[in-house]
């Protein structure tokens, strides 16, 4: 599903350049649930952003579902993001003047689905994250955990090949964190490929594979016995 070879990325800051990712080789099969760990500044978000086509790589190659991701124009990149990728952010990133259902329906809007169909599908996904009754509520009327579940519904509604989540539980207490992880595990159970950035080891343990980054290189990459979040909720 994801195939990365010799990935390099630096940020230019004035005359200096900060070498963040220093040659990463990494691949993910369909249906995996991968945690990316590492200390702050190790380049986790940078890696995830490149995987999500929000940022561009400097060197190396990246194939997503067999499609080489390189030198795409913005329109093409938008199409791939829309079709292949779903994002979940630490700060939820819901649009504050749209209600839960409208937020979830937004990727479908960009797929040019008709309004009625969009709403039906958005409601279905809201139902799956247990928030059907909250469909008409604005993000400001939702708790953090609810917001993140809306964000997950929004990420999944377009039926992406890969779900990318940058610290999805970073802003949540441990109980709601486990609820969110339970949801993510259930989505993974259906065969979806998911990558999660986290620096909490209990969250990482709920994945099937843990990748450790340190100073821009992979320190460790191991399969783990998955802890089911449902045991804690």
Partner 1 sequence: MFDRDIWQEIFFSIRNNKLRTFLTGFSVGWGIFILVMLLASVNGMKNGFTNQFGNDAANSISLFARSTTEPYAGFEAGRKIQFKNSEVDYIRGNFQGFYEYISQTVNRSISARYKQETGSYNVIGVNAEFQKIEVTDIEEGRQLNELDVKNKSKVMVLGRLVVKDLFKEENPIGKFLEVNGSTFKVIGVFSDDDDDRAERSIYAPYTTLQRLYGNTSNINSIRMTYNPNFSLAQALDFSDKVEYVFKRKLKISPEDQSAIRVRNNADGFSDLNEFTGLLNTMSIGVGILILIAGIVGIGNILVFIIKERTKEIGIRKALGARPSQILKLVLLESVFITSISGFIGMLIAMGILGIIGPLINAPAFSNPSVDISIVITATLVLIISGLVAGWVPARRAAKVRPIVALSSD
Ligand X SMILES: Nc1ncnc2c1ncn2[C@@H]1O[C@H](COP(=O)(O)OP(=O)(O)OP(=O)(O)O)[C@@H](O)[C@H]1O
Binding site for partner 1 (CB under 8 A): 49, 52, 54-55, 74-75, 78-79, 81-83, 87, 89, 93, 95, 97-98, 102, 106-107, 109-111, 115, 154, 158
Residues in a beta bridge with 223: 209
Q: Is 198 in the site for ligand X (CB under 6 A)?
A: no
C-alpha 58 chain-centroid distance = 22
Beta carbon nearer to partner 1, 154 or 209: 154
The DSSP line for 1-35 is -EEEEEEEEEEEETTEEEEEEEEEEEEE-TT-EEE
Residue 96 CB, nearest distance to partner 1 (Å)? 8
Beta carbon nearer to ligand X, 199 or 208: 199
Contact string (CB under 5 A) for Mg ion, positions 32-51, x = contact:
-------------x------
Choose among ligand X, partner 1, Mg ion, none what residue 15 binds, the Cβ cut-off being 5 to 8 Å by kind.
none
- Say how many CA atoms lie within 13 Å of 108 toward its Cβ: 24
C-alpha 204 chain-centroid distance = 14
Question: How far apart are the C-alpha atoms of 100 and 17, rounded to whole Å?
Answer: 41
Task: Answer whether 208's CB lies under 8 Å from 34's CB.
Answer: yes
> Which residues have C-beta within 8 Å of that of residue 212, sequence separation ≥ 6?
37, 38, 218, 219, 220, 221
Question: Which residue of 6, 17, 18, 27 would you call a contact of ligand X, by CB under 6 A?
Answer: 18
Question: Which residue of 4, 20, 37, 126 would you call a contact of ligand X, by CB under 6 A?
Answer: 20
Task: Answer whether 45's CB lies under 8 Å from 166's CB.
Answer: yes
Residue 105 CB, nearest distance to partner 1 (Å)? 9
Beta carbon nearer to partner 1, 93 or 226: 93
Choose among ligand X, Mg ion, partner 1, none what residue 128 binds, the Cβ cut-off being 5 to 8 Å by kind.
none
Choose among ligand X, partner 1, Mg ion, none what residue 114 binds, the Cβ cut-off being 5 to 8 Å by kind.
none
Q: Could you give the angle at which helices 100-110 and 115-128 cross, rounded to 10 degrees?
A: 130
Residue 22 CB, nearest distance to Mg ion (Å)? 17
The residues of the shown chain that bind Mg ion, judged by CB under 5 A, are 45
The residues of the shown chain that bind ligand X, judged by CB under 6 A, are 11, 13, 18, 20, 38, 40-46, 199
């Amino acid at each position: 599903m994801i195939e990365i070879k010799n990935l390099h990325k630096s940020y230019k800051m004035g005359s200096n350049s900060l070498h963040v990712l220093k040659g990463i080789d990494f691949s993910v099969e369909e249906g995996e649930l991968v945690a990316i760990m590492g200390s702050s500044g190790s380049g986790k978000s940078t890696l995830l952003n490149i995987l999500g086509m929000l940022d561009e790589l400097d060197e190396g190659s990246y194939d997503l579902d067999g499609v080489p991701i390189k030198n795409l124009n913005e329109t093409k990149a938008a199409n791939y993001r829309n079709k292949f990728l779903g994002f979940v952010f630490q700060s939820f990133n819901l649009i504050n003047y749209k209600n839960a259902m409208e937020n979830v329906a937004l990727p479908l809007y960009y797929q040019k689905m008709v309004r009625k169909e969009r709403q039906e599908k958005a409601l279905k996904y809201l139902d799956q994250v247990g928030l059907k009754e909250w469909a008409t509520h604005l993000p400001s009327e939702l708790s953090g955990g609810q917001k993140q579940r809306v964000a997950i519904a929004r990420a999944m509604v377009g039926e992406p090949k890969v779900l990318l989540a940058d610290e999805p539980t970073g802003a949540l207490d441990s109980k709601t964190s486990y609820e969110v992880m339970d949801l993510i595990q259930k989505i993974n159970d259906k065969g979806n490929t998911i990558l999660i950035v986290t620096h909490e080891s209990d969250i990482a343990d709920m994945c099937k594979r843990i990748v450790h980054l340190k100073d821009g290189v992979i320190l460790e990459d191991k399969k783990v016995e998955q802890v089911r979040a449902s045991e804690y909720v």
